[in-house]
Amino acid sequence: MTHRATIDFLLHDWLHADALCDRERHTDHSRETFDAVLDLSEKLANEQFAPLNRLIDIHEPEFDGVAVKLPAETPVALKAFGEAGLVGASKDVELGGMQLPTVVEIASMSFFYKASVGLAAYPMLTRGNANTIVAHGTPTQIETFAKPGLEGRTFGTMCLSEPQAGSSLSDINTRAVPDVNGDGSGTDWAQDPLGQRYRLKGNKMWISGGEHEMGRYRLKGNKMWISGGEHEMGENIVHLVLAKIPGEDGKPVPGVKGISLFIVPRKLVKADGSISDQRNDVALAGLNHKLGYRGTVNTLLNFGEGKFPVNGQPGAVGYLIGKQGEGLKCMFTLMNEARIGVGLGATMLGYAGYEASLNYAKERPQGRHMGAGGKDHSAPQIPIIEHTDVKRMLLMQKAVVEGGLALGLLCSQLVDDELTGSSEQGENARLLLELLTPIAKSWPSEWAQEANSQAIQILGGYGYTRDFPVEQYWRDNRLNMIHEGTHGIQGLDLLGRKVVMNGGKALSVLAERISQTIQKAGHVPGLAEHGTALAQALQKVGATTKAAWSTGVPEEALANATPYLQAFGHTVLAWIWLELALAAKAAQAEGEWDQRPEGPGFLQGKLAAADYFFAYELPKIDAWLGVVSRRDLTCAKAQADWF
């Protein structure tokens, strides 16, 4: 299949990722080291992950009252991933990483998502968890809680939602209180090296030298939808937990400003950083039995209910990370990474379905060509890939999954630019990444899901059976429009925040990038028309953004934030496809792909997918933008008793 070839095309013909090796952080790298990582990843994914994908669907996690039971194969596969050094591949050498560019790390990850998203979610979460600790933790916290995760020895989670608070994080009830007394041990918590020992400016709970000086908190509350929340794999699970610290009046600060972030290990960690055998007061309250994505255990966790008392007292021991009240800001380090990860996971589920349906379409005989005199029923049947409607369904999938993969890699390269690019590159990359994150998350979630549906359709009745993998991809993928911020939340984020922040600066940066692409396309036969179509789309998106906000009333501007998100996403993908078409044309001129086993059809396929996107997909934006630009209030005005 062409997954690896497409990765090469995207990394080298399009993103010119080799150039990253000129940057000081990556001087030890080269195309050869990138290839080695990708070779290893593809092999590991094919050998260790893919064979388990149906198994982990059939044998979903079970709780026997004592422990969560996963298939015995699951920890073996994850251990192989960790031991290959892939969790922390992009991290500093001092942290055990190899300072691989993020874009290559994520390209590597695409093989694992495709092979088994239910397995890949564990290292994805662990990596994001560790990155968050690296970004906001103390040196001791990084050494103690991040490094083992990056080494594949421990696992990480993100604990945000609660049963009564999903999308509305300001309503979380989990409380964190200073662990100052009642522990019975006489330990001086201020000396706990895992907490923060420096004075925090403006942090009222922190009175240096006073009796409230402390290093740790006790947490109580329930956390819902926690992926990887409980299992016996690895040496420990490091939970990152949002909770509220009561203010001086004993009440939590309302809204998101009252939220802080805590490290809460499943097993207590000693002062020297070693993991004890003692459970922290974090108990499994139940497993969620899902439609798909079953390989990733999903849990309801009770923090501090007293099932595993610490020093005789209920309350889960936790360590503040980052500043008090800035928990959500810190968590967004993880959340933004996870959103791009969710989008890429969705894309790669789409990719898996694309490959399966492509294989089927090439092999399944059915029907005949229509000749001048009708069909010749005495002729043998043709493979269904020769039927135009099947090719339409394949091109749709190709356009979505290769476009989605390109988007994921682009965002990953922006992470690199933010980290190691020039200051102007870095600032532009930061803005673009903020703007594109809701698209990177939502667009593949919606359209790779639809791609999976087309894969089922190509297989027909067979696709509807569990004898073929496509139905599972479709089920697995349905989660992606929900977790890490629903589709609706992404739309509000985009239209309510991202396109208007800094006076619309991020949108300007994007428009500038798109205009450059259009300009290039203007000189290329076969692509100039697409450039014109993209210019019109960009103009419409800009005008619609203005029209939506023209009254300045959020309820009107945001009444159609989801259709706006859809139109914006299709416009971004049209840009990406024009970029890829330009890269394909350039590669055709160079002729280097003719030598590869994929042959010249490989680049023609990229151009056909671009043609498909401009002919069949981009025109859809008008219907979506229409309601946004006229601030249609049909939905806003509907009343509950009308339904």
Q: Which two tokens stand for residue 419?
A: 């980290």
Residue among 390 and 510 whose Cβ is closer to a second copy: 390
Contact 239, 145 (CB under 8 A): no
Find the shortest distance in angstroms from Cβ 270 to a second copy.
35
Residue among 199 and 251 whose Cβ is closer to a second copy: 251
Find the shortest distance in angstroms from Cβ 370 to a second copy.
5
| The residue to which tokens 């590159």 are assigned | 425
Find the shortest distance in angstroms from Cβ 434 to a second copy.
21
Residue among 95 and 385 whose Cβ is closer to a second copy: 385
Residue among 319 and 564 whose Cβ is closer to a second copy: 564
Find the shortest distance in angstroms from Cβ 475 to a second copy.
7
Find the shortest distance in angstroms from Cβ 461 to a second copy.
5
Burial class, 350, CB count within 10 angstroms (exposed 0-12 / middle 13-18 / buried 19+): buried
Residue among 481 and 506 whose Cβ is closer to a second copy: 481
Which phi and psi angles does 412 have, rounded to 5°? -70, -35
Residue among 33 and 457 whose Cβ is closer to a second copy: 457
Q: At a CB cut-off of 8 Å and minimum separation 6, what does 211 contact?
A: 180
Burial class, 533, CB count within 10 angstroms (exposed 0-12 / middle 13-18 / buried 19+): middle
Provide the pairing of β-strand 155-159 with 68-69. Answer: unpaired
Find the shortest distance in angstroms from Cβ 231 to a second copy.
19
Dmax over CA atoms of the chain, in Å, equals: 95
For 625-628, the CB contacts below 8 A with 24+ separation are 625/540, 625/541, 625/544, 625/563, 625/564, 625/567, 627/560, 627/563, 628/495, 628/544, 628/547, 628/548, 628/560, 628/561, 628/563, 628/564, 628/567
| The residue to which tokens 């899902």 are assigned | 290
Residue among 212 and 391 whose Cβ is closer to a second copy: 391
Phi-psi region of 198 (alpha: psi -120 to 50; beta: other; left: phi over 0): beta
Find the shortest distance in angstroms from Cβ 172 to a second copy.
11
CA distance linking residue 472 with residue 292, whole number of Å: 7
Residue among 255 and 312 whose Cβ is closer to a second copy: 255
Three-state DSSP state, 63: strand
**Which has the closest alpha carbon to 400: 459, 352, 338?**
352
Find the shortest distance in angstroms from Cβ 483 to a second copy.
7
